[in-house]
């Protein structure tokens, strides 16, 4: 599996987990629209911490 496909799988998994956690209500209630939505920010952190490489 190439790196792009792995990252897409991670963002989908995180997004599904957040949807389940917040039951579709979203984690943010007030304030300006964020530049990144939560799943994308968490995916960047997870991929950066784990050092995801192609084929892992």
Distance (Å, whole) CA 2 – CA 4: 6
Map residue 20 onto helix, strand or coil: helix
Tokens of 7: 């990252």
pLDDT at 54: 64
Look at residue 34 in the predicted model and tell me its pLDDT.
74
Q: Along the 56 residues of the chain, how does pLDDT read in single tens digits? A: 778 888 889 889 998 988 888 776 666 667 787 787 888 888 888 888 877 776 65
What per-residue confidence (pLDDT) applies to 12? 93
């Amino acid at each position: 599996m190439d790196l792009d496909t792995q990252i897409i799988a991670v963002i989908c998994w995180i997004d599904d987990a957040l949807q389940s956690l917040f039951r579709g209500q979203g984690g943010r209630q007030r304030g300006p629209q964020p530049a990144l939505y939560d799943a994308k920010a968490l995916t960047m952190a997870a991929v950066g911490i784990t050092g995801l490489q192609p084929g892992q």
